[in-house]
Amino acid sequence: MKVNNKISNPKTEVPETKEMNDKDYITTVLTIEKAMVKDYAVALTEASNNDLYEDYCDMFNDVSDLQREIYNLMFKKGWYCLEQSDQNKITQKLNMIEQEFQQL
In-domain check, residue 11? no
Q: Note the pLDDT of residue 29.
A: 96
Question: Tens of pLDDT along 15-74?
Answer: 888 999 999 999 999 999 999 999 999 999 999 999 999 999 999 999 999 999 999 999
Query: What's the order of all strands across the beta sheet hosting 6-7?
Result: 2-3, 6-7, 82-83
In total, how many domains does the chain have? 1
In-domain check, residue 92? yes
Q: 38 is in which domain, residue-wise?
A: 20-103
pTM beyond 0.85, yes or no: no
Query: pLDDT-based confidence at 79, cuts 50/70/90?
Result: very high
Q: Is 1 a residue whose pLDDT tops 80? A: no
* CA dist 46 → 4, 38, 56, 71, 78 (Å): 44, 13, 10, 28, 38
